[in-house]
Structure 1
Amino acid sequence: MNPLLPKLQDIDNRTLLDRVEDAMLPLINLVFLLLLFFIVAGHLTDDPLPALPGTAQEGESSAPAADLVINGDGQLRVHQSPVSREELASKLPKPDADKPLRIAADKGVTMDDLESVLRLLEKAGYRKVDLLTEPSL
């Protein structure tokens, strides 16, 4: 008889549970090896984020068209010309229910300055206001 094959009486002496456990052991080992492979492979492949279309190059500045610009020192500008708070309502376009007033505020503007300007605009009849922001990079 071939020495690699177990003797018939050795197989008969073992219970069914022992034989099933022996048959399942290679399958369990294979599953664990596959699990380890996919864990390692998942950490090795680090896909970079795709480049967004139409992003501006460094140094390029495309400021959005704002009706009112508030500088960091609280200075107001309408169409690139400085305006005082008293003459603000007369220099801005007339309030329109369909088109909101666009305001661009510098990041140095305090909330108190912005709130005072919004109160002036509310008194002047502006009900819709868009606050333009820049995305952080």
Structure 2
Amino acid sequence: MTHLVPPPSTSGKTLMERVEDALLPLVNLVFLLLMFFIVAGQIADEPLPELPGASNLSEQSAHADLLVTASGDWQVTGEILGSENLIHRLPPPDPDRPLKIAAAESVAMADLETLFRVLEKGGYTDLVLLTEPAS
């Protein structure tokens, strides 16, 4: 009986040698990708812009519409306000100008969430939280 399909040509190589030959292009590709990302990461190494420091709240008062102190108090122009009269002392909501909030670094997220809910009820949809980078 004759075979209709000839046996595969191995050109004298073992199975392991053929697998190694098939992996070589993959290894080359991974190496080139690694080199690309190393070079691209070095080229785009730009420092971050300076952010206003929220630890110095007196300096922030010139830039922020609302200050949140370390004790969780809300201040507008140096006056401590509660949730019932905060909205009336802030500038009206403006879609072109977000409300700027400076918070002390020790303020808990739960306190900020309470503030955000009050501001949302007052019609403020765009907020900017002034922070400083971690040192």
TM-score by length of 2: 0.54
Matches of 1:62 and 1:90, distance apart in 2: 24
1:89-133 CA distance string (max 9 Å, x none) = 001000001000000011111110000000100000001000001
Q: Which runs of 5+ in 1 are unaligned?
A: 1-58
CA RMSD, aligned part only? 2.4
Assess, with a 3 A threshold, how the Cα gap between structure 1 residues 87 and 62 changes in structure 2: closer, same or farther: closer
**How far off its partner does 1:85 sit?**
1.6
Match of 2:63 among 50, 54, 65: 65
Deviations 1:60-90 (A, max 9, x none): x843610000011110000121111210100
In structure 1, C-alpha distance between the alignment counterparts of 2:71 and 2:112, rounded to whole Å? 11
Considering Cα pairs closer than 8 Å and 6+ residues apart, tell me whether 1 or 2 has the greater RCO. Answer: 2
Q: TM-score scaled to structure 1, two decimals?
A: 0.53
Q: How does 1:49-64 map onto structure 2 within 5 Å?
A: 62-63=59-60
Residue 111 of structure 1: aligned partner: 109
Aligned CA distance change for structure 1 residues 91 and 62 (closer, same or farther; 3 Å): closer
Alignment partners' CA distance in 2, 1:72 and 1:62: 15
Given candidates 82, 86, 94, the residue that maps to 2:80 is 82
Alignment length (residue pairs)? 80
Greater C-alpha radius of gyration: 1
Specify the alignment match of 1:95 in structure 2.
93
What letter corresponds to residue 110 of structure 1 in structure 2? A
Give the secondary-structure state (helix, strand or coil) at the position aligned to 1:115. Answer: helix
Partner of 1:131: 129
State the Cα distance separating 1:136 from its structure 2 match. 3.5
User: What percent identity do the matched residue pairs reach?
Assistant: 44
Following TM superposition, the consecutive aligned residue runs of length 4 or more in structure 1 with deviations greater than 3 angstroms are: none
